[in-house]
Amino acid sequence: MPPIRVLLAEDSPTVRFHLARIVNAAPGMVVVGEARDGLEALEMAATLEPDVISMDIRMPRMDGLEAARQIMAQHPTPIVMVSGLLQEEISLSMQALEAGALAVVSKPPARHDPAFARHERRLIHTLTAMAGVHLVRRWTSAPRSNVAHIALPGVHPEVVAIGASAGGPGALVALLGSLTESFALPVLLVQHLPDEFVDGFAQWIAPHLALPLRVAEAGMPLEPATIYLAPAGRHLQVARVGGLVAALTPVTPADRYCPSVDALFTSVANVCGAFGVGIILTGMGDDGAAGLCALHEAGGRTFAQDPDSSVVYGMPRAAMARGGVQRVLALPELARVLSTFAPR
């Protein structure tokens, strides 16, 4: 196999040197270009045609956010935002994910830092995984269609569960941002992100929403018209203690994803059955496929985002292959269907 060709966009010569050393030392990877700002990254994306771009967020002349927007419009290429953990940088990185970047990771610390090896592995793993996304789609407006018949008269759901990964932030703004304060159901959300970005994601997406968003805590009652986000380092599930409450379970060595969409969907199937709704959105891998199948078998309603509106169609495709999806819909249609499930 030819090596994965990586373009580095980073204004700091020192950080750029260390990132290049990390990438070039990884088996099957090579740095083909080093951009000092967003303008150079835009030019090199066109001339070098890399497999994946490692993009800093704060750079002179053109920052990483604007560079990501223009690259996705002119030369669609998988982009991984490599961000510091300052609040401003996290917010800009979330905007870049909405603009089409596929993932965000934190910058590796100094080599003597005990966490260096873990961050190095995450960077290489993420660049490798995203380089495998050969077709990066941006969602477009879908034709309006009549979807009212999907609602089942007389059977009102009690909870909505949503899972997303790569491409999820933008899709979630479109989907959850469409809900009004009259939407009288709790919404549970799993979005794959590194632990250190979960709180920043919550702060970034909240202004886009009419409903309040909370990072879930163990035993927290699930209230109507509220969105609950899986916290860092725990699986979010549903339990019934009188009413519905959030349950958090620890990660085990066997877990492939954290937080796990499968864990959320399976708990909704077990606790809510036919009164649960599951929605799988854009993302890589197969997390959520088994859980959505369980919810479908329990009588719940299950939906997947369609290929044309997905940035990455891995998770919806896997759920389809398992037979757990009742309907495949574009984001505008999903939003309209979701609005029909609020109790009247």
Q: Is residue 33 part of a domain?
A: yes
Go through 216-254 and write b for each residue having 16 or more CB atoms within 10 A of its CB, e for each that does not. beeebebeebbbbbbbeebbbbbbeeeebbbbbbeeeee
Q: Is residue 142 part of a domain?
A: no
Catalytic residues: 165, 192, 287
**Residue ranges making up the domain that contains 37:** 4-131
The residues, any chain, with a CB within 8 Å of residue 318's CB and separated by 6 or more, are: 285, 286, 288, 289
Q: Is residue 275 part of a domain?
A: yes
Residues 79 and 152 in one domain: no
Residue 90 has pLDDT above 90, yes or no: no
Q: Is residue 167 part of a domain?
A: yes
Average pLDDT for residues 47-54, to the nearest whole number? Answer: 97
Degrees, nearest 5: CA angle 80-81-87: 155
Residues 127 and 158 in one domain: no
Query: Mutual orientation of helices 116-131 and 13-25 as an angle, nearest 10°?
Result: 70
The CATH number for 321's domain is 3.40.50.180
* pLDDT (0 to 100) of residue 154: 54
Q: Give the tens place of pLDDT for each residue, 266-325.
A: 999 999 999 999 999 999 999 999 999 999 999 999 999 999 889 899 999 999 999 999
Residues 120 and 160 in one domain: no
The CATH number for 36's domain is 3.40.50.2300
Write out the two tokens for 260. Answer: 């796990």
Residues 290 and 163 in one domain: yes
Give the Cα separation of 271 and 177 in Å (integer).
27
CA distance from start to end of the chain:
57
Give the Cα separation of 303 and 328 in Å (integer).
6
Q: Is residue 93 part of a domain?
A: yes
Write out the two tokens for 320. Answer: 């389809």
Residues 123 and 157 in one domain: no
Range with the poorest average pLDDT among 56-70, 78-92, 212-226, 284-298: 78-92
| Count of domains observed in the chain | 2
Residue where a domain stops, chosen among 103, 131, 159: 131
Residues 167 and 262 in one domain: yes
DSSP strand pairing (79-83 vs 226-229): unpaired
SS3 content of the chain, % helix, strand, coil (to 5): 40, 20, 40
Q: Tell me the pTM.
A: 0.89
Average pLDDT for residues 49-69, to the nearest whole number? Answer: 95
Residue where a domain stops, chosen among 98, 131, 164: 131
| Cis amide prior to 13 (ω within 30 degrees) | no
Q: Is residue 78 part of a domain?
A: yes
Residues 120 and 152 in one domain: no
Residues 218 and 275 in one domain: yes
CA dihedral 172, 177, 183, 188 (to 10 degrees): 20
Residues 282 and 212 in one domain: yes
Half-sphere exposure (CA, 13 Å, Cβ side) for 193?
27
With cut-offs at 50, 70 and 90, classify the pLDDT of residue 343: low
Q: Give the tens place of pLDDT for each residue, 129-168.
A: 999 885 544 544 444 444 444 444 456 899 999 999 999 9
